[in-house]
Chains A and B, each alone.
Chain A
Amino acid sequence: MSNIEKNETTPGFKAFRVFNIIFFVLFTLICFYPFYYLIINSISANDLSANGLINWFPRKIHFENYVQVLQLSGLGTAALVSLGRTVIGTALTVIASSFLGYMFTREDMWHRKFWYRFVVVTMYFNAGMIPMFITMKNLGLTNTFWVYVLPAIVQPFNIILVKTYIESLPKSLEEAAALDGATTLQTFIHVILPSCTPILATVAIFSAVGQWNSFQDTLLYITDDKLYSLQYLLYQYINQASSLASMVRNGGGVAAVASAAQSQTPTSIRMTVSVVVVLPILFIYPMFQRYFTKGIMLGAVKG
């Protein structure tokens, strides 16, 4: 037996490996089980879920909860608001990050270094929650959709990511475009943008998750319930689930359902809305995981 194999099979290391695997299996279960729990409860009979009887497998599966919850006044609007801010906010951040990232590589721009620092230094200070609130009020942005989007457009960190990426690309394409007489914008759109897609995917996915999950801005800047985001609505639902349940039961615009299995309970409302909020993340995350991982890596290189 060689040295190497002997080292792999010492009793101490074997014990470590067993313990290690047990730890990771347990922790993975702890991370994933809550999501599973929400899903099986939202599709099981409501009288069972309300009494905490659904722990491992769904029982008496039905989808009535989704039909009813989606008709809750406010949920449709909030879903639209959240979707809107995610799509528009992400698109604008991607445009801003790529364009500024590119412009800050252009050494022929007027006082490039100064403006670059002017933007990047904002990463390191912040006025604070209340001055920010007063600012939004003064700018007339409270209770508007734009309060979700405008402040998030220029993200110094994303700009640094894109700038570093563009600097790593060969200069020849850009020079060729310049020789062909392309304007700055034409070069940006036809040469730079197509070659930046990997890094822009990372920027987009982080921004999208941030927008979808954002909760504080609704809390601070929005009082108009037509502009509530899904996260904020979920928070309210958790705290008022009992009154909502009785509203749905008494047919608040929804046909009353007689059977106990399908009648809404605070638990069924909470679980179902939670699943509606988390489902996009559950679908998108595994698909785009490599972009997330890449994002943190690039951040680390910079840091």
Chain B
Amino acid sequence: MENVIDNQKESEALQQRRQQHDKAKRKRSRRMWLLIVPFLVLVVAFSYYPLFGWVYAFFDYEPPIPLRDSQFVGMQWFKMMVANSTQVRQLMQVLINTFAMSLLNIATSFFPLLFAIGLNEIRNKHFRNIIQTLTTLPNFISWVLVYSIAFAMFSTNGMVNDLLQNLNVIAAPIKFLDSDSLTWIKMLLWSTWKGLGWGSIIYLASISGIDQELYEAARVDGASRFQLIRYITIPALMPTFFVMLMLSVSNFLNNGMDQYFVFQNAFNQTHIQVLDLYVYNVGMGQNSLSYATAISMLKSLVSVALLWIVNIVSKKTRGASII
């Protein structure tokens, strides 16, 4: 009997101790959370709170008049996008530019893969390293600097025109920058110049991860170098290529602004204005903040939807999500 009571007492004490322990643990885990609160505040301020800015798309907001004194206009700005034919034509042109730039970038997304395969065929290690360093360098300069380089080399009295004239290839200087001819191609070439070397690094890393015994075995079987590339290297790079391709599809509407902003001028305006630049020009240039917010809101929603769809496609086709 005594024994039973003793046991009961003991288990009560144990329970009490456990409760105390749990309480202390909970307190500690809350305290730990308090340590990251300052950072969470930053996340809220710069990632979640800006979403609240979307309400400006439903008001006629004209700074410095505050939002509470602005008129609620409902869907007016969204209707305005398709209201008159000039507006529609302008927006269509912007969408065409955006699609063209994205499609060109997707169509050339196998360039880095070929670049990596070619670079891998260069035997001399030092030579290969030098190439890699120098070709990845342009990725780390800003678009402003790229523009500065473009200006120095391609303006009417720049180096390229000078050279072509000296070689008697052309009689008068070509206006590379101040013209609207081949704007999309020029933009593609600049982004290729800047990004090709860097884009290939991920493939070079995949190549170095390929099991060398595969190559040895194929060689013994009499495969030529081309066959090694065709049947071993390229298939091994396909998963990486697929992920990169999916990522560029999900960024279809996000061309970014810097490149197009620095290269834009009165001549090439029609074909250089992609969505991001258009939003800037409308919002900051013409001060139509509400209308620009409406466009940027649609753009963000479509982008999230694209990412979601691409992720589903990725899950279905290769059994792994990309995000």
CB-CB under 8 A from B148, the residues of chain A are 38, 234, 238, 270, 274, 277
Closest CB of chain B to A18's CB: distance in Å?
A: 11
9-residue interface stretch from A68-76, A119-127, A163-171, A253-261? A119-127
Residues of A within 8 A of B90 (CB): none
Q: CB within 8 A of A118: which of B40, B49, B162?
A: B40
Q: Cβ of A130 < 8 Å from any Cβ of B?
A: yes
Interface residues of A in 150-168 (CB under 8 A from B): 150-151, 153-154
A108, B151: Cβ atoms closer than 8 Å:
no
The binding surface of chain B is classed by DSSP as helix
Are A151 and B46 in contact, with the CB atoms below 8 A?
A: yes
Stretch in contact with the other chain, from B8-16, B94-102, B127-135: B127-135
List residues 181-199 of chain B with CB under 8 A from any CB of chain A.
Answer: 193, 196-198
- CB-CB under 8 A from A133, the residues of chain B are 283-284, 289
Q: Which residues of A contact B138 (CB under 8 A)?
A: 31
A99, A122, A126, A278: the one within 8 Å of B43 (CB): A122
A103 close to chain B: CB less than 8 A: yes
Do residues B220 and A3 form an inter-chain contact, with CB atoms below 8 A?
yes
Across the interface, which residues of B come within 8 angstroms of A184, CB to CB? 32, 35
B7 at the interface (CB under 8 A from A): no
Chain A 179-191 per-residue mask, 1 if CB under 8 angstroms from chain B, else 0: 0000011000000
Number of A-B contacts (CB under 8 A): 261
Q: How far is the CB of A90 from chain B (nearest CB, A)?
A: 15
- Which residues of A (256-303) have their CB < 8 Å from a CB of B? 267, 270-271, 274, 277-278, 281-282, 285-286, 289, 292-293, 296-297, 300, 303
- Structural contact, A297 and B144, CB atoms closer than 8 A: no
A231 interface contact, C-beta 8 A: yes
Residue of B nearest to A25 (CB): B131
User: B28-59 toward A: CB 8 Å interface, digit per residue (1/0)?
Assistant: 11101101100110110111111111101000
| Inter-chain contact A129/B149, CB cutoff 8 Å | no
Q: In the assembly, what is the distance between CA of A106 and CA of B140, in Å?
A: 35
**B36 touching A28 by the CB < 8 A rule?**
no
User: When each residue 228-270 of chain A gets 1 if its CB lies under 8 Å from chain B and 0 otherwise, what string results?
Assistant: 0001101100100000000000000000000000000001001
Query: A141: shortest Cβ distance to chain B, in Å?
Result: 9
Q: List, in ascending order, chain B residues with CB within 8 A of A118's CB.
A: 40, 43
Interface pair B224/A10, CB less than 8 Å apart: yes
The one of B43, B51, B225, B276 in contact with A131, judged by C-beta atoms closer than 8 angstroms, is: B51
Q: Tell me the dominant secondary structure on chain A's binding face.
A: helix
The answer to the question of B75 belonging to the interface, with a C-beta cut-off of 8 Å to chain A, is no
A135 touches which one: B28, B32, B53, B202 (CB < 8 A)?
Answer: B53
Q: Using CB atoms and an 8 Å cutoff, list the residues of chain A in contact with chain B.
A: 3-4, 7-8, 10, 12-13, 16-17, 20-21, 23-24, 27-28, 30-32, 34-35, 37-38, 41, 51-52, 55, 96, 99-100, 103, 106, 108-111, 115, 118-119, 122, 124-135, 137, 139, 150-151, 153-154, 184-185, 209, 212-216, 219-220, 231-232, 234-235, 238, 267, 270-271, 274, 277-278, 281-282, 285-286, 289, 292-293, 296-297, 300, 303
Question: 9 other contacts beyond A130-B56, A132-B53, A215-B144, with CB at 8 A cut-off?
Answer: A4-B220, A24-B131, A28-B135, A129-B279, A131-B293, A231-B145, A234-B148, A300-B202, A300-B240
Q: List 11 A-B contacts (CB under 8 A).
A: A12-B226, A17-B121, A32-B134, A52-B159, A52-B161, A109-B29, A127-B50, A127-B300, A130-B293, A271-B152, A277-B144
